[in-house]
Structure 1
Amino acid sequence: MDMITGLFRLFGWHMKLSVSRAMIYRFDFLTGLFISILVSGIAPLVQYLIFTQTRGYPGWTLGQILLFQGLLLLWFGIRDLLFGDLRGMVMNMVRKGEFDRLLLKPYPPIGVLLCSGFQLNGIGSCIAGIGVSIVAFRQLHLSIDFVTIALFLIAIVAGVILFMAVTVFYCAIVVLIVQMGRMSEMFDRITDFGNYPSNIYPAILQTAMVTFLPFAIWTYYPAQILLHRVDSRLVIAAVSCVLIFWLSIKVWNRSLRNYTSAGG
Protein backbone atom coordinates (compact mmCIF):
# COMPACT_ATOMS: atom_id res chain seq x y z
CA MET A 1 0.00 0.00 0.00
CA ASP A 2 2.88 2.36 0.82
CA MET A 3 4.36 1.65 -2.60
CA ILE A 4 1.12 2.59 -4.40
CA THR A 5 0.81 5.76 -2.32
CA GLY A 6 4.40 6.64 -3.17
CA LEU A 7 3.77 6.15 -6.88
CA PHE A 8 0.73 8.43 -6.73
CA ARG A 9 2.87 11.07 -5.02
CA LEU A 10 5.47 10.64 -7.76
CA PHE A 11 2.79 11.14 -10.42
CA GLY A 12 1.59 14.28 -8.62
CA TRP A 13 5.15 15.61 -8.54
CA HIS A 14 5.61 15.05 -12.28
CA MET A 15 2.25 16.69 -12.94
CA LYS A 16 3.21 19.79 -10.95
CA LEU A 17 6.57 19.91 -12.72
CA SER A 18 4.90 19.75 -16.14
CA VAL A 19 2.47 22.54 -15.23
CA SER A 20 5.31 24.67 -13.86
CA ARG A 21 7.29 24.27 -17.06
CA ALA A 22 4.26 25.22 -19.16
CA MET A 23 3.63 28.33 -17.07
CA ILE A 24 7.17 29.62 -17.66
CA TYR A 25 6.20 30.35 -21.28
CA ARG A 26 2.49 30.99 -20.87
CA PHE A 27 1.97 32.56 -24.28
CA ASP A 28 3.50 29.55 -26.03
CA PHE A 29 1.36 27.22 -23.93
CA LEU A 30 -1.86 29.12 -24.58
CA THR A 31 -1.08 29.36 -28.29
CA GLY A 32 -0.40 25.63 -28.45
CA LEU A 33 -3.59 24.95 -26.50
CA PHE A 34 -5.64 27.07 -28.90
CA ILE A 35 -4.13 25.34 -31.93
CA SER A 36 -4.69 21.92 -30.33
CA ILE A 37 -8.39 22.69 -29.79
CA LEU A 38 -8.74 23.91 -33.39
CA VAL A 39 -7.00 20.85 -34.82
CA SER A 40 -9.08 18.54 -32.63
CA GLY A 41 -12.22 20.22 -33.95
CA ILE A 42 -11.36 19.15 -37.49
CA ALA A 43 -12.13 15.48 -36.75
CA PRO A 44 -15.85 16.02 -35.95
CA LEU A 45 -16.13 18.13 -39.10
CA VAL A 46 -14.60 15.33 -41.18
CA GLN A 47 -17.01 12.83 -39.61
CA TYR A 48 -19.91 15.15 -40.42
CA LEU A 49 -18.85 15.37 -44.07
CA ILE A 50 -18.36 11.60 -44.29
CA PHE A 51 -21.74 10.95 -42.70
CA THR A 52 -23.63 13.39 -44.90
CA GLN A 53 -21.90 12.45 -48.16
CA THR A 54 -22.04 8.67 -47.68
CA ARG A 55 -24.36 6.11 -46.14
CA GLY A 56 -22.77 6.77 -42.75
CA TYR A 57 -22.28 4.07 -40.12
CA PRO A 58 -24.94 1.36 -39.75
CA GLY A 59 -26.92 1.80 -36.54
CA TRP A 60 -25.62 5.29 -35.87
CA THR A 61 -27.28 8.66 -36.41
CA LEU A 62 -25.33 11.85 -37.03
CA GLY A 63 -25.83 13.02 -33.45
CA GLN A 64 -24.65 9.69 -32.08
CA ILE A 65 -21.53 9.77 -34.25
CA LEU A 66 -20.76 13.28 -33.02
CA LEU A 67 -21.07 11.99 -29.45
CA PHE A 68 -18.73 9.12 -30.33
CA GLN A 69 -16.26 11.58 -31.87
CA GLY A 70 -16.41 13.82 -28.82
CA LEU A 71 -15.70 10.89 -26.51
CA LEU A 72 -12.86 9.81 -28.82
CA LEU A 73 -11.27 13.26 -28.50
CA LEU A 74 -11.78 13.13 -24.74
CA TRP A 75 -10.06 9.73 -24.64
CA PHE A 76 -7.14 11.04 -26.70
CA GLY A 77 -6.79 13.89 -24.22
CA ILE A 78 -6.88 11.61 -21.16
CA ARG A 79 -4.37 9.27 -22.79
CA ASP A 80 -1.96 12.09 -23.64
CA LEU A 81 -2.36 13.78 -20.25
CA LEU A 82 -1.44 10.62 -18.37
CA PHE A 83 1.11 8.97 -20.68
CA GLY A 84 1.90 11.40 -23.52
CA ASP A 85 5.62 11.71 -22.74
CA LEU A 86 6.24 8.09 -21.85
CA ARG A 87 7.16 6.51 -25.18
CA GLY A 88 9.81 9.03 -26.14
CA MET A 89 11.14 9.17 -22.59
CA VAL A 90 11.67 5.43 -22.18
CA MET A 91 13.30 5.13 -25.61
CA ASN A 92 15.76 7.93 -24.82
CA MET A 93 16.51 6.48 -21.39
CA VAL A 94 17.28 3.02 -22.76
CA ARG A 95 19.30 4.35 -25.70
CA LYS A 96 21.44 6.60 -23.48
CA GLY A 97 21.86 4.02 -20.73
CA GLU A 98 19.89 6.13 -18.22
CA PHE A 99 17.35 3.36 -17.69
CA ASP A 100 19.82 1.67 -15.33
CA ARG A 101 19.09 4.33 -12.70
CA LEU A 102 15.48 3.15 -12.43
CA LEU A 103 16.70 -0.28 -11.37
CA LEU A 104 18.20 1.30 -8.24
CA LYS A 105 15.07 3.14 -7.13
CA PRO A 106 12.86 1.80 -4.31
CA TYR A 107 9.85 1.56 -6.63
CA PRO A 108 9.28 -0.89 -9.53
CA PRO A 109 10.79 0.56 -12.74
CA ILE A 110 7.54 0.19 -14.69
CA GLY A 111 5.68 2.01 -11.91
CA VAL A 112 8.11 4.92 -12.10
CA LEU A 113 7.77 5.05 -15.89
CA LEU A 114 3.97 5.00 -15.84
CA CYS A 115 3.98 7.83 -13.29
CA SER A 116 6.36 9.95 -15.37
CA GLY A 117 4.44 10.34 -18.61
CA PHE A 118 2.20 13.32 -17.77
CA GLN A 119 1.91 15.77 -20.68
CA LEU A 120 -0.11 18.96 -20.20
CA ASN A 121 -0.61 19.41 -23.95
CA GLY A 122 -3.28 16.71 -23.84
CA ILE A 123 -5.66 19.16 -22.18
CA GLY A 124 -6.51 20.63 -25.59
CA SER A 125 -8.07 17.39 -26.81
CA CYS A 126 -9.90 17.03 -23.48
CA ILE A 127 -11.48 20.47 -23.84
CA ALA A 128 -12.45 19.84 -27.47
CA GLY A 129 -13.85 16.41 -26.62
CA ILE A 130 -15.93 17.72 -23.73
CA GLY A 131 -17.28 20.52 -25.92
CA VAL A 132 -18.28 18.23 -28.80
CA SER A 133 -19.80 15.70 -26.38
CA ILE A 134 -21.92 18.36 -24.67
CA VAL A 135 -23.25 19.62 -28.03
CA ALA A 136 -24.10 16.08 -29.16
CA PHE A 137 -25.57 15.24 -25.75
CA ARG A 138 -27.98 18.16 -25.94
CA GLN A 139 -28.99 17.35 -29.51
CA LEU A 140 -29.79 13.78 -28.53
CA HIS A 141 -31.70 14.84 -25.38
CA LEU A 142 -30.01 12.14 -23.33
CA SER A 143 -30.49 11.63 -19.61
CA ILE A 144 -27.96 10.60 -16.97
CA ASP A 145 -28.52 8.65 -13.77
CA PHE A 146 -26.25 7.14 -11.13
CA VAL A 147 -25.95 3.79 -12.95
CA THR A 148 -24.94 5.53 -16.18
CA ILE A 149 -22.26 7.55 -14.42
CA ALA A 150 -20.93 4.46 -12.60
CA LEU A 151 -20.73 2.39 -15.79
CA PHE A 152 -19.11 5.29 -17.66
CA LEU A 153 -16.42 5.65 -14.99
CA ILE A 154 -15.82 1.88 -15.00
CA ALA A 155 -15.32 1.98 -18.78
CA ILE A 156 -12.90 4.92 -18.52
CA VAL A 157 -10.85 3.26 -15.77
CA ALA A 158 -10.77 -0.03 -17.70
CA GLY A 159 -9.67 1.91 -20.78
CA VAL A 160 -6.81 3.50 -18.86
CA ILE A 161 -5.76 0.07 -17.57
CA LEU A 162 -5.77 -1.29 -21.12
CA PHE A 163 -3.68 1.59 -22.42
CA MET A 164 -1.28 1.07 -19.53
CA ALA A 165 -0.98 -2.56 -20.66
CA VAL A 166 -0.28 -1.51 -24.25
CA THR A 167 2.33 0.94 -22.97
CA VAL A 168 3.96 -1.71 -20.77
CA PHE A 169 4.22 -4.05 -23.78
CA TYR A 170 5.82 -1.20 -25.72
CA CYS A 171 8.32 -0.50 -22.94
CA ALA A 172 9.16 -4.21 -22.67
CA ILE A 173 10.05 -4.33 -26.36
CA VAL A 174 12.12 -1.12 -26.11
CA VAL A 175 14.10 -2.59 -23.20
CA LEU A 176 14.94 -5.63 -25.33
CA ILE A 177 15.68 -4.10 -28.74
CA VAL A 178 16.49 -0.45 -27.77
CA GLN A 179 15.42 1.05 -31.12
CA MET A 180 11.75 0.53 -32.05
CA GLY A 181 11.86 1.91 -35.59
CA ARG A 182 8.55 1.39 -37.36
CA MET A 183 7.26 -0.97 -34.68
CA SER A 184 5.93 2.11 -32.91
CA GLU A 185 3.75 2.80 -35.95
CA MET A 186 2.56 -0.81 -35.85
CA PHE A 187 1.35 -0.30 -32.27
CA ASP A 188 -0.52 2.82 -33.36
CA ARG A 189 -2.13 1.17 -36.38
CA ILE A 190 -3.38 -1.74 -34.28
CA THR A 191 -4.87 0.50 -31.61
CA ASP A 192 -6.50 2.66 -34.31
CA PHE A 193 -9.20 -0.02 -34.58
CA GLY A 194 -10.62 1.48 -31.39
CA ASN A 195 -11.20 4.82 -33.14
CA TYR A 196 -14.35 3.57 -34.89
CA PRO A 197 -17.62 2.00 -33.71
CA SER A 198 -17.02 -1.70 -33.13
CA ASN A 199 -20.28 -2.76 -34.77
CA ILE A 200 -19.07 -1.64 -38.22
CA TYR A 201 -16.48 -4.46 -38.23
CA PRO A 202 -17.05 -8.14 -39.13
CA ALA A 203 -18.37 -10.36 -36.33
CA ILE A 204 -15.01 -12.02 -35.64
CA LEU A 205 -13.30 -8.65 -35.24
CA GLN A 206 -16.12 -7.41 -33.01
CA THR A 207 -15.49 -10.39 -30.74
CA ALA A 208 -11.76 -9.70 -30.73
CA MET A 209 -12.35 -6.07 -29.72
CA VAL A 210 -14.19 -7.23 -26.61
CA THR A 211 -11.91 -10.11 -25.59
CA PHE A 212 -8.18 -10.32 -26.32
CA LEU A 213 -7.99 -6.88 -28.01
CA PRO A 214 -10.71 -4.98 -26.10
CA PHE A 215 -10.15 -1.61 -27.79
CA ALA A 216 -13.92 -1.08 -27.77
CA ILE A 217 -13.58 -0.07 -24.12
CA TRP A 218 -11.92 3.22 -25.11
CA THR A 219 -14.76 4.96 -26.94
CA TYR A 220 -17.39 2.52 -28.20
CA TYR A 221 -18.62 1.37 -24.79
CA PRO A 222 -18.56 4.82 -23.17
CA ALA A 223 -20.73 6.01 -26.08
CA GLN A 224 -23.05 3.02 -25.75
CA ILE A 225 -23.40 3.67 -22.03
CA LEU A 226 -24.44 7.29 -22.56
CA LEU A 227 -26.84 6.18 -25.32
CA HIS A 228 -28.40 3.65 -22.89
CA ARG A 229 -27.77 0.66 -25.13
CA VAL A 230 -24.81 -1.01 -23.45
CA ASP A 231 -24.80 -4.82 -23.25
CA SER A 232 -23.27 -7.39 -20.92
CA ARG A 233 -20.11 -7.63 -23.02
CA LEU A 234 -18.91 -4.50 -21.22
CA VAL A 235 -18.08 -6.75 -18.26
CA ILE A 236 -16.11 -9.10 -20.52
CA ALA A 237 -14.18 -6.17 -22.00
CA ALA A 238 -13.39 -4.71 -18.57
CA VAL A 239 -12.17 -8.05 -17.20
CA SER A 240 -10.10 -8.57 -20.36
CA CYS A 241 -8.39 -5.21 -19.76
CA VAL A 242 -7.31 -6.29 -16.28
CA LEU A 243 -6.07 -9.68 -17.54
CA ILE A 244 -4.10 -8.07 -20.36
CA PHE A 245 -2.50 -5.68 -17.90
CA TRP A 246 -1.52 -8.63 -15.70
CA LEU A 247 -0.01 -10.33 -18.76
CA SER A 248 1.88 -7.16 -19.72
CA ILE A 249 3.50 -7.04 -16.27
CA LYS A 250 4.60 -10.67 -16.68
CA VAL A 251 6.14 -9.84 -20.07
CA TRP A 252 7.80 -6.75 -18.60
CA ASN A 253 9.38 -8.72 -15.75
CA ARG A 254 10.73 -11.26 -18.22
CA SER A 255 12.18 -8.49 -20.42
CA LEU A 256 13.93 -6.97 -17.39
CA ARG A 257 15.69 -10.26 -16.75
CA ASN A 258 17.08 -10.10 -20.29
CA TYR A 259 17.94 -6.38 -20.18
CA THR A 260 21.45 -5.35 -21.23
CA SER A 261 22.50 -1.76 -20.68
CA ALA A 262 22.97 0.31 -23.84
CA GLY A 263 24.97 2.99 -22.03
CA GLY A 264 28.54 3.72 -22.90
Structure 2
Amino acid sequence: MRETLMLWWQLMRLRARARLQNRLSLVLAWISQGFGYAGAFASIWVILNRFGGLGGWRWPELAFLLGFQIFGYALGAMFTFTQFRFMEEQVRDGEFDMLLVRPVNPWSFLVFSGIDLQYGSHFALGLVLMIMAGLQLDLDWDLLMILRLLLSLMSAAMLTGAMFTALGACAFVLGRSRFLFGLYFDFWELSRYPAIIFGLPLQLILLTILPFSYMGFVPVSVLLGKPVPILGDAAPMLAILAGPITALIAAWIWRACLRRYQGFGV
Protein backbone atom coordinates (compact mmCIF):
# COMPACT_ATOMS: atom_id res chain seq x y z
CA MET A 1 0.00 0.00 0.00
CA ARG A 2 2.82 2.37 0.89
CA GLU A 3 4.52 1.69 -2.45
CA THR A 4 1.27 2.40 -4.30
CA LEU A 5 0.78 5.71 -2.52
CA MET A 6 4.36 6.68 -3.28
CA LEU A 7 3.82 5.83 -6.95
CA TRP A 8 0.73 8.04 -7.12
CA TRP A 9 2.59 10.87 -5.43
CA GLN A 10 5.52 10.60 -7.83
CA LEU A 11 3.18 10.57 -10.83
CA MET A 12 1.46 13.74 -9.62
CA ARG A 13 4.80 15.36 -8.81
CA LEU A 14 6.22 14.65 -12.28
CA ARG A 15 3.08 15.93 -13.97
CA ALA A 16 3.10 19.11 -11.91
CA ARG A 17 6.78 19.75 -12.61
CA ALA A 18 6.22 19.29 -16.34
CA ARG A 19 3.25 21.67 -16.32
CA LEU A 20 5.13 24.30 -14.33
CA GLN A 21 7.85 24.46 -17.00
CA ASN A 22 5.66 27.03 -18.73
CA ARG A 23 4.33 29.11 -15.87
CA LEU A 24 3.25 32.02 -18.05
CA SER A 25 0.93 29.80 -20.08
CA LEU A 26 -0.54 28.40 -16.87
CA VAL A 27 -1.15 31.84 -15.38
CA LEU A 28 -2.76 33.07 -18.62
CA ALA A 29 -5.04 30.03 -18.56
CA TRP A 30 -6.06 30.85 -14.98
CA ILE A 31 -6.78 34.47 -15.92
CA SER A 32 -8.82 33.64 -19.01
CA GLN A 33 -10.89 31.01 -17.22
CA GLY A 34 -11.37 33.30 -14.23
CA PHE A 35 -12.72 36.10 -16.39
CA GLY A 36 -15.01 33.67 -18.20
CA TYR A 37 -16.62 32.39 -15.01
CA ALA A 38 -16.69 35.85 -13.41
CA GLY A 39 -18.60 37.15 -16.44
CA ALA A 40 -21.14 34.33 -16.22
CA PHE A 41 -21.61 34.88 -12.47
CA ALA A 42 -21.92 38.64 -12.98
CA SER A 43 -24.82 38.09 -15.36
CA ILE A 44 -26.56 36.02 -12.67
CA TRP A 45 -25.94 38.83 -10.16
CA VAL A 46 -27.56 41.33 -12.54
CA ILE A 47 -30.64 39.14 -12.89
CA LEU A 48 -31.00 38.70 -9.14
CA ASN A 49 -30.56 42.43 -8.51
CA ARG A 50 -33.21 43.17 -11.11
CA PHE A 51 -35.81 40.74 -9.80
CA GLY A 52 -34.79 40.60 -6.14
CA GLY A 53 -34.25 36.85 -5.98
CA LEU A 54 -34.52 33.53 -7.77
CA GLY A 55 -36.84 30.86 -6.40
CA GLY A 56 -36.60 32.38 -2.94
CA TRP A 57 -32.79 32.59 -3.06
CA ARG A 58 -31.12 35.96 -2.50
CA TRP A 59 -27.76 36.89 -4.03
CA PRO A 60 -25.55 35.97 -1.03
CA GLU A 61 -27.18 32.53 -0.91
CA LEU A 62 -26.80 31.99 -4.63
CA ALA A 63 -23.21 33.30 -4.50
CA PHE A 64 -22.44 30.64 -1.89
CA LEU A 65 -24.01 28.05 -4.20
CA LEU A 66 -21.93 29.25 -7.17
CA GLY A 67 -18.74 29.19 -5.11
CA PHE A 68 -19.44 25.73 -3.76
CA GLN A 69 -20.34 24.36 -7.17
CA ILE A 70 -17.24 25.61 -8.98
CA PHE A 71 -14.87 24.65 -6.12
CA GLY A 72 -16.25 21.11 -5.83
CA TYR A 73 -16.20 20.70 -9.60
CA ALA A 74 -12.57 21.84 -9.87
CA LEU A 75 -11.50 19.51 -7.07
CA GLY A 76 -12.85 16.51 -9.00
CA ALA A 77 -12.11 17.68 -12.53
CA MET A 78 -8.41 18.30 -11.92
CA PHE A 79 -7.99 14.53 -11.53
CA THR A 80 -10.40 13.31 -14.18
CA PHE A 81 -11.63 15.75 -16.84
CA THR A 82 -8.64 15.97 -19.17
CA GLN A 83 -7.73 12.34 -18.57
CA PHE A 84 -11.10 10.87 -19.55
CA ARG A 85 -12.15 13.48 -22.07
CA PHE A 86 -9.37 12.18 -24.32
CA MET A 87 -10.10 8.52 -23.65
CA GLU A 88 -11.62 8.25 -27.12
CA GLU A 89 -8.31 9.19 -28.73
CA GLN A 90 -6.31 6.89 -26.46
CA VAL A 91 -8.53 3.96 -27.37
CA ARG A 92 -8.57 4.76 -31.07
CA ASP A 93 -4.79 5.26 -31.32
CA GLY A 94 -3.97 2.18 -29.26
CA GLU A 95 -2.38 4.13 -26.40
CA PHE A 96 -4.69 2.56 -23.85
CA ASP A 97 -3.67 -0.92 -25.04
CA MET A 98 -0.10 -0.10 -24.03
CA LEU A 99 -1.32 0.99 -20.61
CA LEU A 100 -2.97 -2.39 -20.03
CA VAL A 101 0.35 -4.23 -20.11
CA ARG A 102 1.88 -2.04 -17.39
CA PRO A 103 1.95 -3.42 -13.83
CA VAL A 104 -0.32 -0.65 -12.52
CA ASN A 105 -4.04 -0.05 -12.25
CA PRO A 106 -5.05 1.71 -15.52
CA TRP A 107 -7.55 4.04 -13.85
CA SER A 108 -5.12 5.10 -11.12
CA PHE A 109 -2.34 5.69 -13.63
CA LEU A 110 -4.56 7.87 -15.81
CA VAL A 111 -5.86 9.89 -12.87
CA PHE A 112 -2.61 10.60 -11.06
CA SER A 113 -0.31 10.94 -14.07
CA GLY A 114 -2.61 13.48 -15.70
CA ILE A 115 -3.40 15.83 -12.81
CA ASP A 116 -4.35 19.20 -14.29
CA LEU A 117 -3.16 22.43 -12.65
CA GLN A 118 -5.32 24.72 -14.78
CA TYR A 119 -8.04 25.01 -12.16
CA GLY A 120 -6.35 27.68 -10.04
CA SER A 121 -8.92 30.33 -10.98
CA HIS A 122 -11.76 27.92 -10.19
CA PHE A 123 -10.45 27.37 -6.67
CA ALA A 124 -9.75 31.06 -6.07
CA LEU A 125 -13.12 32.25 -7.38
CA GLY A 126 -15.01 29.54 -5.53
CA LEU A 127 -13.25 30.25 -2.25
CA VAL A 128 -13.76 34.03 -2.53
CA LEU A 129 -17.47 33.63 -3.30
CA MET A 130 -18.03 31.25 -0.38
CA ILE A 131 -16.15 33.46 2.08
CA MET A 132 -17.86 36.69 1.01
CA ALA A 133 -21.29 35.06 0.94
CA GLY A 134 -20.67 33.34 4.27
CA LEU A 135 -19.84 36.68 5.90
CA GLN A 136 -23.00 38.30 4.54
CA LEU A 137 -25.18 35.38 5.61
CA ASP A 138 -23.73 35.43 9.12
CA LEU A 139 -23.62 31.64 9.35
CA ASP A 140 -22.72 29.88 12.58
CA TRP A 141 -19.42 28.26 11.59
CA ASP A 142 -19.02 25.76 14.39
CA LEU A 143 -16.92 22.61 14.06
CA LEU A 144 -19.86 20.49 12.89
CA MET A 145 -20.77 22.91 10.11
CA ILE A 146 -17.18 23.16 8.90
CA LEU A 147 -16.94 19.37 8.84
CA ARG A 148 -20.21 19.15 6.93
CA LEU A 149 -18.92 21.70 4.40
CA LEU A 150 -15.68 19.79 3.86
CA LEU A 151 -17.43 16.43 3.51
CA SER A 152 -19.96 17.92 1.11
CA LEU A 153 -17.18 19.40 -1.03
CA MET A 154 -15.42 16.02 -1.12
CA SER A 155 -18.70 14.38 -2.10
CA ALA A 156 -19.21 16.90 -4.93
CA ALA A 157 -15.64 16.28 -6.12
CA MET A 158 -16.15 12.50 -6.05
CA LEU A 159 -19.40 12.93 -7.95
CA THR A 160 -17.63 14.95 -10.63
CA GLY A 161 -14.82 12.43 -10.97
CA ALA A 162 -17.23 9.51 -11.01
CA MET A 163 -19.29 10.97 -13.83
CA PHE A 164 -16.22 11.73 -15.94
CA THR A 165 -14.96 8.19 -15.30
CA ALA A 166 -18.25 6.69 -16.44
CA LEU A 167 -18.34 8.86 -19.56
CA GLY A 168 -14.76 7.98 -20.47
CA ALA A 169 -15.43 4.27 -19.97
CA CYS A 170 -18.02 4.40 -22.75
CA ALA A 171 -15.12 4.65 -25.22
CA PHE A 172 -14.23 1.01 -24.43
CA VAL A 173 -17.56 -0.14 -25.84
CA LEU A 174 -18.58 2.56 -28.31
CA GLY A 175 -15.16 3.66 -29.50
CA ARG A 176 -16.40 7.21 -28.89
CA SER A 177 -17.13 9.22 -25.79
CA ARG A 178 -16.20 12.86 -26.32
CA PHE A 179 -19.71 13.81 -27.50
CA LEU A 180 -21.00 12.68 -24.09
CA PHE A 181 -18.94 15.37 -22.40
CA GLY A 182 -20.82 18.01 -24.38
CA LEU A 183 -24.09 16.60 -23.07
CA TYR A 184 -22.62 16.54 -19.57
CA PHE A 185 -21.89 20.26 -19.57
CA ASP A 186 -25.35 21.06 -20.91
CA PHE A 187 -26.77 19.60 -17.69
CA TRP A 188 -23.86 20.79 -15.53
CA GLU A 189 -24.87 24.38 -16.22
CA LEU A 190 -28.14 23.65 -14.39
CA SER A 191 -26.25 22.82 -11.18
CA ARG A 192 -25.50 26.53 -10.78
CA TYR A 193 -29.11 27.23 -9.95
CA PRO A 194 -31.47 26.12 -7.18
CA ALA A 195 -33.28 23.03 -8.43
CA ILE A 196 -36.49 24.41 -6.97
CA ILE A 197 -36.84 26.79 -9.94
CA PHE A 198 -37.27 23.83 -12.33
CA GLY A 199 -40.35 21.72 -12.89
CA LEU A 200 -40.90 18.51 -10.93
CA PRO A 201 -39.80 16.15 -13.77
CA LEU A 202 -36.46 17.95 -14.16
CA GLN A 203 -35.99 18.06 -10.38
CA LEU A 204 -36.42 14.29 -10.25
CA ILE A 205 -33.87 13.81 -13.03
CA LEU A 206 -31.31 16.08 -11.34
CA LEU A 207 -31.74 14.24 -8.05
CA THR A 208 -31.71 10.67 -9.40
CA ILE A 209 -30.66 9.71 -12.93
CA LEU A 210 -28.37 12.71 -13.46
CA PRO A 211 -27.45 13.77 -9.91
CA PHE A 212 -26.16 17.25 -10.73
CA SER A 213 -28.10 18.85 -7.89
CA TYR A 214 -25.75 17.16 -5.41
CA MET A 215 -22.91 19.27 -6.82
CA GLY A 216 -24.32 22.41 -5.27
CA PHE A 217 -28.01 22.81 -4.56
CA VAL A 218 -28.54 19.96 -2.10
CA PRO A 219 -25.42 20.44 0.09
CA VAL A 220 -25.72 24.24 0.08
CA SER A 221 -29.41 24.06 0.96
CA VAL A 222 -28.50 21.86 3.92
CA LEU A 223 -25.77 24.26 5.04
CA LEU A 224 -28.11 27.26 4.76
CA GLY A 225 -31.00 25.48 6.44
CA LYS A 226 -33.23 25.61 3.37
CA PRO A 227 -35.76 22.86 2.56
CA VAL A 228 -34.88 20.44 -0.23
CA PRO A 229 -37.79 19.27 -2.39
CA ILE A 230 -38.38 15.52 -2.75
CA LEU A 231 -35.48 14.55 -0.45
CA GLY A 232 -36.83 16.17 2.72
CA ASP A 233 -35.09 14.95 5.89
CA ALA A 234 -32.80 12.66 3.85
CA ALA A 235 -31.03 15.66 2.28
CA PRO A 236 -28.26 16.10 4.92
CA MET A 237 -27.15 12.48 4.62
CA LEU A 238 -27.43 12.34 0.83
CA ALA A 239 -25.45 15.56 0.47
CA ILE A 240 -22.47 13.66 1.87
CA LEU A 241 -23.15 10.17 0.49
CA ALA A 242 -24.04 11.12 -3.11
CA GLY A 243 -20.37 11.24 -4.14
CA PRO A 244 -19.31 7.89 -2.67
CA ILE A 245 -22.44 6.17 -4.01
CA THR A 246 -21.88 7.56 -7.51
CA ALA A 247 -18.19 6.58 -7.32
CA LEU A 248 -19.15 2.97 -6.61
CA ILE A 249 -21.52 2.98 -9.59
CA ALA A 250 -18.83 4.53 -11.80
CA ALA A 251 -16.31 1.89 -10.68
CA TRP A 252 -18.76 -0.84 -11.68
CA ILE A 253 -19.34 0.83 -15.07
CA TRP A 254 -15.58 1.17 -15.62
CA ARG A 255 -14.93 -2.51 -14.89
CA ALA A 256 -17.94 -3.68 -16.92
CA CYS A 257 -16.88 -1.65 -19.98
CA LEU A 258 -13.24 -2.66 -19.58
CA ARG A 259 -14.23 -6.35 -19.62
CA ARG A 260 -15.92 -5.79 -22.97
CA TYR A 261 -12.99 -3.87 -24.41
CA GLN A 262 -11.57 -5.51 -27.53
CA GLY A 263 -9.28 -2.74 -28.72
CA PHE A 264 -9.85 -0.22 -31.48
CA GLY A 265 -6.25 0.78 -32.16
CA VAL A 266 -4.71 0.40 -35.60
> What's the TM-score, normalizing by structure 2?
0.85
Larger mean Cα displacement after TM superposition, 110-119 or 162-171: 110-119
Distance 1:57-1:8 versus aligned 2 partners, 3 A rule: farther
Identity %: 21
1:208 shift after superposition: 3.9
Name the CA distance, whole Å, in 1 between partners of 2:103 and 2:166.
22
2:106 aligned partner: 109
1:177 aligned partner: 174
Across the aligned residues of Structure 1 and Structure 2, the Cα RMSD in angstroms comes to 2.5
Q: Is the partner of 1:115 in helix, strand or coil? A: helix
- Counterpart of 2:18, as a letter, is R
Name the CA distance, whole Å, in 2 between partners of 1:50 and 1:58.
12
1:255 aligned partner: 257
Q: Is residue 130 of structure 1 aligned with residue 132 of structure 2? A: no
1:105 shift after superposition: 2.7
1:93 aligned partner: 90
1:247 shift after superposition: 2.6
Q: Is residue 191 of structure 1 aligned with residue 193 of structure 2? A: no
Q: Which runs of 5+ in 2 are unaligned?
A: 228-232
Distance 1:102-1:227 versus aligned 2 partners, 3 A rule: same
Q: Is the partner of 1:213 in helix, strand or coil? A: coil
Name the CA distance, whole Å, in 2 between partners of 1:19 and 1:125.
17
2:230 aligned partner: none
Q: Is residue 121 of structure 1 aligned with residue 118 of structure 2? A: yes
Q: Which runs of 5+ in 1 are unaligned?
A: none
1:201 aligned partner: 198
Q: Kindly indicate whether the alpha-carbon contact (under 8 Å) linking 2:73 and 2:157 is maintained by their aligned counterparts in 1.
A: no
- Counterpart of 2:187, as a letter, is I
Name the CA distance, whole Å, in 2 between partners of 1:205 and 1:68.
19
1:125 shift after superposition: 1.0
Name the CA distance, whole Å, in 1 between partners of 2:117 and 2:207.
30
- Counterpart of 1:253, as a letter, is R
- Counterpart of 1:62, as a letter, is W
Aligned length: 261
- 1:62 aligned residue (24, 39, 59): 59
